[in-house]
Structure 1
Amino acid sequence: MVDVQKTSSRLLSLLSLLQTHRDWSGDDLAQRLGVTPRTVRRDIDRLRELGYPILAFKGPSGGYRLAAGSQLPPLLFDDGQAVALALALQSAAADSTIGEDATRALATIRQVMPPRLRQRIDLLQITAVQPPESGDTSAVGTPLLVELSRVVRAREELRFDYGHDATGPVRPPRRTQPHHLLTWRGHWYLIAWDLDRDDWRVFRVDRIRPRTPTGPRFTPRDLPGDDVAAFIIGRFRGTDGSASDWPCRGEVVLDLPAQAVAPFAQDGIVEELGPDRCRLSLGSWSWTGLAAAIGRFDTDAHVIGPPELTSAFAQLAERYAKAAATSPSAP
């Protein structure tokens, strides 16, 4: 019985190391766990039997990497990660787009938490209030966002019914080539080329009811001005697409899902680029203010432009480095 407990504990420790998203050599894992490389190989096989997709790569000592699989296996979080995840889900629960899924996920995680962590969560209850929006605020389900994201990336033609009133006159479905999925001011939009109208159109996602199957693949077109942010702002203003609402406006790519960024982007424009990446177009009264606003998302940011934003990040980095190096004076 003791050996079984030691093996289970060692497997959890091994899984925790592999989840740090780096390559581990067999010798390094053996040293961390206090076992032989042969034991590490056996434990890797046990984790694979439990459904964890662990890749092996060649080298002087061999190595291992936890890869993405076709199904979500059980995950292991340390105390800090578990608390952060629960608080993030509390905030997301107020989002009309993913609120129901976030609430169910939070209940699942809280159920398996040890009492000490549940107590910390209960003491840090968050009430997230979404800003009021004019007009229709119908919720957009996660499955719809996932499907639209898929057809945008796959470059597949999409047919859908558009509108709310199912009792009105029957209209033919819209035939489109979807190019961009984004959020602006609390709503999700699809930018697509309308095949019947031979022009670009902007569709509210909560009014889209897709039809299946999807159509053939298409060759992407160039958006007028090649600027998604300027295009969407111009369409709603009835202008030529000039995004001059702020004196300073920049674009970055964030290593976060669009759904995680959208609730906090205010009047910024968030474009979905993949399951874990999005493009954010945001404005501010100054370049340093814009860089600071982007920094609050607490993830890696890749600047698209303009150069002034890159310079502002460098200035802030220098200021923060000086602040970090300054010792607080004694009272």
Structure 2
Amino acid sequence: MATLRDVAAAAGVSTATVSNVFNGTGRVSEAVRARVTETAAALGFAGPNPAAASLRRGRVGIIGIVLAENLGYALGDPAAGAFLTGVAAVGDAEDVGLTLLPAPPASPGAPGPAARGLPTLERAVVDGAIVYSIEEDSPALPALVARGLPLVAVDSPRDATGAPWVAVVRVQDRGGAQAAAQHLLSLGHRRVAVLVDRLATAPARGRATWADARRAASSVIRERLAGYADAWRAAGLPLSSLEVHQAGANSAEAGAGATAALLAAPSPVTGVLCVSDVLALGVVRAAQARSAEVPGALSVVGFDDSPLAAEAGLTTVAQPLREKGEVAARALLAALAGRPVDAAPVLPARLVVRASTGPPRVNRC
């Protein structure tokens, strides 16, 4: 196989000149460029090894996206999909590749680092990473910090493990959640459930206490729960009338599974505040399957405003999902290029009222 030196010798030029021709750097006359190109083609030389060139530059042109779930979930979740679309759009514009790095919590019976994707994180060849929706107790965080990579946090803890974030991208989760709870209060609801996927890395189902809620491993879940509680306190209502329930997973199936318990209670709630649209859509479908009208018997509010929410007429809190990905990608690429970085961008969240909410049929106090 021909080498760069072979081409240089055959073309009668230096190896630096051959390198300049293939890399498009330096001053090379058109005559020399043509001679080098023709000689390389005749010898079957395709160009310098791209991996070796990347190592010399200290950059590989790839950024990682660290996900708190497995790839199948991430690619199927509308909110995660919109976020990844935003990251990809910036990557395409900057000619930078992306690699998805799953770091899901260990499933029961499969403990240990391998179950959490740590070997993948430790071996991934990337210039930096965007850490998306990771819990504070995830072992992925110290594994990433140990590598010394530039890191951008999105929906991830700001202070855990002393992570040297170059930027922390946040959404007004607390304010958005407060607006959602105030909306149900304005309609007359006084007994409402808050439905979360999980409060800790290990999934659980069923009723939880507010003490559990305040210790949630996800900073985003903590902020949204705090916003719901803010609205309740402002209305002078006890938190005992704002129940916290865990669905066990962020899926429509999990939301549907939690709905049976909510409707079967001796004093059923009249509204449900869900921390995601996916959970909310599961609640709506399960309620309708049990002949509980939405919003007549049960008002439902989501969070995200994914495309599915609009199709289903779901009242929800809108966050700029694609823009969040774009902002994160720009921040990481700016840090890698040595450009100024907005270290703490905060994106807006706003309530979008649709057909899934209305006054309760019976106002229980």
TM over 0.5: no
Place the TM-score, normalised by the shorter chain, in its bin.
under 0.3
RCO comparison, higher one (Cα < 8 Å, 6+): 2
Name the TM-score, length of structure 1 as normaliser.
Answer: 0.26
The structure richer in strand per residue is 1
Task: Please give the TM-score of this superposition, normalised by the length of structure 2.
Answer: 0.24
